[in-house]
Amino acid sequence: MFIYDFYSAQHAVSAHSKLEGSYLRGVIPRSLQSVCNMLPPLLCLDHPHVKIGQEAVVISGRKMARQIRDETRADVEEWVSAGNKRPHLSVVLVGDNPASHSYVLNKTRAAADVGISSETILKPTSITEEELLEIIDKLNSDHRVDGLLVQLPLPEHIDERRICNAVSPDKDVDGFHVVNIGRMCLDQSTMLPATPWGVWEIIKRTGIPTFGKNVVVAGRSKNVGLPIAMLLHTDGRHERPGGDATVTISHRYTPREQLCKHTQIADIIVAAAGIPNLITADMIKEGAAVIDVGINRIQDPLTGKNRLVGDVDFEGVRKKASYITPVPGGVGPMTVAMLMKNTIKAAKHLLLTPTVRMRMVASS
């Protein structure tokens, strides 16, 4: 919603009256247009510093992620200084998918940056599901390992859901285990999935209001879309606070005209469908906040080279939105940063688990 700055309007009316030769209070100006011309740009009630007609504020996920990593680094050093062992992250990487290798490298570099030790366990595409489960079981029982993740996607012959549920919920820094998902749905403290948590932090740290707002989440994936919707719509007074928003979830079978009806009244749009340019400028209202979670590789028609784009027509939408995240450099860096926060959280939680304490004493 947009309003005029009425304080400025009052002074504009006064100034106009003086120009007309009248100093009487309450004089109605002869030309409303002359007053409007003296007013400042329209302001957004939700984002008072954002003016209508002004391009969106581009949220730097890289900058925000650096801030979170600084916080995590301080947390890790305080933990270690108190006499605790340095948190350790184990990453299992199956196959030779270049994107997966790049993502894992980013995670291990981030771990080193915040003071978390890490290891990457490489396995060939031919590994069987049972062999992978054996590796996970050993890492689950290894008290030196605080955080454990298996990089997705996995080869087609391996059941990803079975693998995710094999990781100990206490070490599940991806937040994909059914126990952690269930706790999240019950508004309880848990390991939140890193990408949805990153989206949540972007919204809250930017100051985008959610209470009572209309939100559209485009995409219903179990690891991204649904958890984002869950975080945004649940009760802010609960153990794991939510956003108290009214959330609509769309998916591949939602007709475009129906999606438009929802997005055109949405205060916040989270695009997480994996469809390039799904959200265009005509689909949003003035001043909406747009968070782009999509990562799509397309061929640039000018250069012929592949480039990364999101689910949002960035150049078009930024002219109407109040806030927007870019791709790359938006949600991606936040995902890695939240993964580091989950790892130190896991280290602290594991120390409080009696069975882990007993194992540590026995092996010391």
Same domain, 226 and 147: no
pLDDT attached to residue 354: 56
For 34-63, letters b (16+ CB in 10 Å) and e give ebeebeeebbbebbeebbeeeebbebebee
Same domain, 212 and 131: no
Closest CA to 195 of 166, 159, 215, 225: 225
Task: Provide the β-strand partners of residue 290.
Answer: 269, 324
Domain presence at residue 21 = no
Q: How confident is the model at residue 310 (pLDDT cuts 50, 70, 90)?
A: very high
Same domain, 253 and 309: yes
Task: Provide the β-strand partners of residue 291.
Answer: 270
Q: Which member of 107, 171, 320, 345 is catalytic? A: 107
Q: In which domain, by residue range, is 246 found? A: 192-332
Domain presence at residue 127 = yes
Whether 38 shows a pLDDT value over 50: the answer reads: no
Mean pLDDT of the chain: 87
Q: Which member of 75, 151, 172, 292 is catalytic? A: 151
Same domain, 130 and 251: no
SS3 of residue 170 by DSSP: coil
Our answer to whether residue 107 is catalytic in this structure is: yes
Average pLDDT, integer, range 199-216: 98
* Inter-axis angle of helices 61-81 and 331-351, nearest 10: 20
Domain presence at residue 321 = yes
pLDDT attached to residue 346: 98
Long-range contacts of 154-161 (CB under 8 A, 24+ apart): 154/94, 154/95, 155/94, 155/95, 155/125, 155/127, 157/128, 157/129, 158/94, 158/127, 158/129, 158/132, 159/129
Same domain, 196 and 327: yes
Our answer to whether residue 172 is catalytic in this structure is: no
Domain presence at residue 240 = yes
In total, how many domains does the chain have?
Answer: 2
Q: How confident is the model at residue 352 (pLDDT cuts 50, 70, 90)?
A: confident
Whether 28 shows a pLDDT value over 60: the answer reads: no
Domain presence at residue 360 = no
Lowest mean pLDDT among 201-205, 225-229, 284-288, 301-305: 301-305
Same domain, 225 and 324: yes
pLDDT attached to residue 135: 99
Domain presence at residue 353 = no
Residue length, the chain?
364
Lowest mean pLDDT among 14-23, 112-121, 240-249, 277-286: 14-23
Please give the span between the terminal C-alpha atoms of the chain, in angstroms, as a whole number: 62
Q: In CATH, what number is assigned to the domain containing residue 268?
A: 3.40.50.720
Same domain, 200 and 165: no
pLDDT attached to residue 303: 86
Q: How confident is the model at residue 27 (pLDDT cuts 50, 70, 90)?
A: very low
Helix (H) or strand (E) holding 232: helix 225-233
Q: How confident is the model at residue 304 (pLDDT cuts 50, 70, 90)?
A: confident
pLDDT tens for 128-175 read 999 999 999 999 999 999 999 999 999 999 999 999 999 999 999 999
Residue 121 φ then ψ, to 5°: -100, 110
Whether 30 shows a pLDDT value over 60: the answer reads: no
Helix (H) or strand (E) holding 66: helix 61-81
Whether 312 shows a pLDDT value over 50: the answer reads: yes
pLDDT tens for 215-250 read 999 999 999 999 999 999 999 888 888 999 999 999
pLDDT attached to residue 95: 98
pLDDT tens for 64-97 read 999 999 999 999 999 999 999 999 999 999 999 9
Q: Which member of 46, 146, 174, 313 is catalytic? A: 174
Domain presence at residue 267 = yes
Residue with tokens 């009425």: 6
Same domain, 213 and 285: yes
Q: In CATH, what number is assigned to the domain containing residue 105?
A: 3.40.50.10860
Q: Are 310 and 330 in contact (CB under 8 A)?
A: yes
Same domain, 161 and 201: no
pLDDT attached to residue 3: 35
Kindly give, in sequence order, each residue whose CB lies less than 8 Å from that of residue 71, ignoring residues fewer than 6 positions away. 341
Whether 302 shows a pLDDT value over 50: the answer reads: yes
Same domain, 276 and 318: yes
pLDDT attached to residue 238: 85
Same domain, 196 and 292: yes
Q: Which of 169, 202, 222 is the last residue of a domain?
A: 169
pLDDT attached to residue 355: 56
Same domain, 198 and 161: no
Domain presence at residue 70 = no
